[in-house]
Amino acid sequence: MRVAFISDIHGNAVALDAVLADIQNKQIDQIYVLGDLCYRGPEPRRSLDTIRTLDTKVIKGNADEWVVRGVREGEVPDKALVLMNSEREWTVSQLDPADLDYLKDLPTELHLEIEGVSISAYHATPESLFEIVPGSSEDAVLQAKLMSAADSTIYVYAHIHKPFIRYIGGKVLINIGSVGLPFDGLAKASYAIVEVDHKRISTSIERVAYDIEKVVQLYQEVNYPNSEMMGRIVRNGSV
């Protein structure tokens, strides 16, 4: 069985379309979504509607929580708080109350069993939607923060927008990167594939090209707050 994990779409429906086309070409059996669906992109509603047509399990990310209740002091640098809440308010204006209820009620973790292989997945950590755990952390830190809440073979998370695969203590840890806003300097959408075949495990990070200039133009056309900076992030694949 081949499954795809996608996350951090951030309202970039153009990148999402490209990733879903790539997933279809690779004949994936199931898709799982690890949060951050709408906020900070020019097409929040289309992104959310597309995710909801997938008939799959979706969990909540920190940006989904922000859409529901706003960005709070201490969650971002002080100098960014007003701007990020203006972006949040614009995003909410593109959605309806049922969309907000959907985001509010999303679960925060997944526990899967695929052909005898157990997989735990969450947005940031099992305990938090917000904590940043870089891939460069020591093995002991990654184990404590990301791999201790359940006895699984594979652990999958998102949030940091920098994909990687590491093998620690006989387990697999995957960060799947970001569909809509990669931060690792490669301006291509990112997602992960996990294949299990009679307990044989194969994992990969996939990078997918999409029409970046179309997204930059959309930020401007919809009068997105902070459109210039967001356009630079999309073009450069980094903050």
Note the pLDDT tens digit of each residue in 61-89: 999 999 999 999 999 999 999 999 999 99
Minimal CA–CA distance to 179: which of 74, 93, 54, 87?
54
CA distance 147 to 3: 20
pTM of the model: 0.97
Q: How many domains does the chain have?
A: 1
- Whether residue 55 has pLDDT greater than 80: yes
| Domain containing residue 6 | 2-236
Do 183 and 230 form a contact (C-beta atoms < 8 A)?
no
Do 183 and 237 form a contact (C-beta atoms < 8 A)?
yes
- Whether residue 28 has pLDDT greater than 80: yes
Residue 128's domain is classified under what CATH number?
3.60.21.10
The secondary structure of the chain, three-state, reads: CEEEEECCCCCCHHHHHHHHHHHHHCCCCEEEECCCCCCCCCCHHHHHHHHHCCCCCECCCHHHHHHHHCCCCCCCCHHHHHHHHHHHHHHHHCCCHHHHHHHHCCCCEEEEEECCEEEEEECCCCCCCCCCCCCCCCHHHHHHHHCCCCCCCEEEECCCCCCEEEEECCEEEEECCCCCCCCCCCCCEEEEEEEEECCEEEEEEEEECCCHHHHHHHHHHCCCCCHHHHHHHHHHCCC
Task: Give the pLDDT of residue 158.
Answer: 98
Do 69 and 137 form a contact (C-beta atoms < 8 A)?
no
Note the pLDDT tens digit of each residue in 145-200: 999 878 999 999 999 999 999 999 999 999 999 999 999 999 999 999 999 998 79
Q: Which residues contact 75 (CB under 8 A, 6 or more apart)?
A: 62, 66, 130
